[in-house]
Copies of this chain bind each other. A is one copy, B any other.
């Protein structure tokens, strides 16, 4: 795997890490503001929404990274990186929406879920084509091209 083939995926990954750091800091500030000292996680609804927004984004982070790379390596680095940026944008909206009200988390949640499904679809396609090349010695993409 050449550097060229993955550098954009690495850039999106680091951006995702920076976003997670930003969400964590917001929880730390919210803990101070609403006086919710660890190990407590219950508090006023304002705090709990921020706490859950970060927890939810953290839960999806490894899933996102897994499909970003599978899709980027086996399907297309360019398309995957664009989807990666859209996903991170959606998650930022989700975090801020959820912080305001539970209702406002929904639209960005659906958006980011849709982007994640696109990445899953790309991954499935990429892995399927790769399986055909490696185990069946059939290159479907080249077949399509010459047809």
Instruction: State the A residues within 8 Å of B (CB).
Output: 1, 3-4, 7, 10-11, 13-14, 16-18, 20-21, 37-41, 45, 48-49, 51-52, 55, 58-59, 61-63, 65-67, 70, 73-74, 98, 102, 105, 116, 120, 123-124, 126-127, 130-131, 133-134
- Kindly report how many copies of this chain are found in the complex they form together: 3
A58 to chain B, nearest CB (A): 5
Q: Is the CB of A37 within 8 A of B102?
A: yes
Residues of B close to A62: CB separation below 8 A? 61-62, 65
Nearest chain B residue, comparing its CB with the CB of A133: B3
Q: Complex: how many Å from CA A20 to CA B66?
A: 12
Nearest chain B residue, comparing its CB with the CB of A123: B14
Q: Complex: how many Å from CA A1 to CA B69?
A: 14
Nearest chain B residue, comparing its CB with the CB of A102: B38
Instruction: Give 3 nearest A-B pairs by CB, closest first.
Output: A39-B52, A62-B62, A39-B48
Tell me whether A127 and B14 are in contact in the complex, defined as CB-CB below 8 angstroms, given that A61-B63, A134-B7 are known contacts.
yes
A91 to chain B, nearest CB (A): 14
